[in-house]
Structure 1
Amino acid sequence: MWERQMNGAHWKARFAAFWGAQAVSLFGSSLAQFALVWWLTEATQSATVLALSTLAALLPGILIGPFAGVLVDRWDRKKIIALSDTVGALVALALAILYLTQLIQPWLVVLAMFIRSLAGAFQQPAVQATTALIVPQEELSRVSGLNQMLNGLMQIAAPPLGALLMTLVPLEAIMAMDVATAAVAVGLVLVLDLPRLVAKHTESAASVLHDLGEGFRYIWGWPALLGILMVSALLNLLLTPAFSLLPIFVTNHMRGGAEDLAWLNMAFGVGVVLGGLLLSVWGGFRRRIYTGALGVAGMGVAILALGLAPAGMLPLAIGAMLATGCMNAFSNGPIMAMLQSLVAPEMQGRVFAVVTSVCMAMSPLGLLVGGPLADALGVSTLYLVGGAACLIMGVVIALHPVLRAVEDGRQAAAQVA
């Protein structure tokens, strides 16, 4: 049994401070992540080590994420957010000391990336669930647009700024910046009066495994939510290998180099920013599921255009990536806002963690299949398959009666099924 404690007054000021804290934290983490990956690249020149670092970043979310969601629903989310940032800062401080004393080793960096990702597995659902308690339901789509815009800005700014910093200062200085930004974020979160969920009779709470099972049963008993999860997982399965192999697309199909790859990545980031900005101003359709469907279908058209781009036609590919980023914001933002407004507050940690874990689990599976398929048929084939799937799924979301009824609530959607 849970009691919801929240104060709706002055939500904009409260959210602005909370959002600012997360933006500062994300900025420092993005710079540190880029620096660590680049250090591993220069120190080892090993694709295996880089693959292991990617795996270290994925595994906590896949394996620990659902259990983290249970604890997010049990514990004070404000403390979880602050503790997660603190763990990341301590790891960055340890790396700075190791580098300064010349004791740094690749395996220690990979371990550090694993621990930072583990902290993120707790922080992400806690932030999402807390946002849903701060922001009125009718404003969640605009707020999701702001979050998409922030992510796009980080994709644009972090790589070039990180690369510049690597030429100007040693690694320990970048780690110190991450510690400083985390300290600012933790300080802001701790002084904020954030709404919270307070458990009654927590001494008789069920086991973690039972609570985790409740999360899965909650999703399984809501056909529309289950359908959206399946669509998201399928799209991650198809699109992750396509965009992971973008460098091969640039070199083999576009006959370009590193600067051309940078243009494509920047175009995607700019598209996310523009899409997030437009969504934050417009707010989307009254039924957010239609905005999400438009984003998925529009992303499919843009990815198909990328796959159909003739060899050497870089401007067309850049335009397609720009449109893909914009439509990505239109698909992710409304769907997240919809979940934040519809999922019961006491279940949000578990539901968000399960959704994230299932989607993340598709990435390594997609890469296992997509790599050999791209070698055999060309990377453009992956874009054609993924784009067609996006377009079809967007139409299905808009027309399927169960998915369309998701905003009518859990019981209404179940009755349609």
Structure 2
Amino acid sequence: MHKVKNSAVLVALIAVAAMLTLAACSEEMSDAEIKEAAMGMGMVEAGSETMSDDQIKQAAMAMGMMTEEDAKAMADEMMPEDSMMVGDRLAQVRERDKVICASRNDVPGYGYLDSSGNNVGFDIDLCRALAAAVLGDPSKIEIRLISAAERGPTIQSGEVDMLVRTVTWTTSRDSQWGNYAQTMFFDGQGFMVNKDLGLMSALELKDATVCVTQGTTTSNQNDLNITALGFEDTDAVVAAYESGQCDAFTNDRSQLAAIGSAFQNRDAHVILPETISEEPLGPVVPHGDDQWFDIVKTVMGILIYAEAYSVDSGSVPTAVTGDTKVDRLFGLEGSFGQESLGLSQTVAQDVINAVGNYGEVYDRNLGPGGIDLPRANGRNALWADAACMDCPKGGQIYSAPLR
């Protein structure tokens, strides 16, 4: 596959082609003349400032300057050594035979150690779903534990295939860290306090000391007149709160519930009613590989649409059902583009058999089987269901149509 090239590289390739022409016929050509010649051959539309890969190769070959193989080789040599080829990530994952995800093991519901010492949770299941899709085996994962402050550098480095560590989607992170694939949970920042303080509202936290995790959006949402005391990770925040170093601690409301569920005396603590931010959470992939980005988006969409079509891990169809949408999703008839991404025709069967649909993943980790966060009629309910895809259900969980 071809590397993604910017306009400067395209212009440089044309310039090199022009120099080859000069060497052959000893005539000078300006950049404008080069472009004019390309337009004259119908390779570039008038007014266009750049040329595509195919246009460059066609123009170069039409001028008799090089073969298609030479044009491709020249373009490859002009790219930086660390450039990511479209499709490289999938090939790398399959060669190493595992998906590497950056996550955590310290928050119930999202990523934590179960009684057998296994790292489980909502975020971990998203990694398992991806492994099932690209490797056919949800167990072929490696979880790299990172702190909140390490999330950006880790995904920027490209050393992991996906970041799934309760990461809020913001425009600056999207442009600087990596590509956000899909919002898989809608959250918001809240506060937990000791019930003995008698506080009923976050507005009563004036002049209070609040423990926060450094390097998070949570630490920056301060329009309240409070003193923020920062710590490297969640464990340190909770320890400081329990030892009385702060009056309250703040985090996404789902994480407050998860942490509170592990307190010995859960009833001694209360989550204040206010939500002071919007925190859309989802997986992030490194910049530079559109195919991998599309694969992760597709896998997340499979989880969501399987629930919308009322298909769970116990009812995955293996023969044509007569329902066009279900048959297409599960690779029984038609396609939603999975093969062009390098995935099997029946990738949805592999994913849902491995982890279940979105509702199953939620219930197992964040719902009744986990930290018991209500979902019905909330933002994390589906937008619609299979019975009436145009009938709102009050939720915001939705994916691009898989067709």
With normalisation by structure 1, the TM-score equals 0.23
Q: Which one has a larger percent strand, Structure 1 or Structure 2?
A: 2
With normalisation by structure 2, the TM-score equals 0.24
Query: Which entry has the higher C-alpha Rg, 1 or 2?
Result: 2
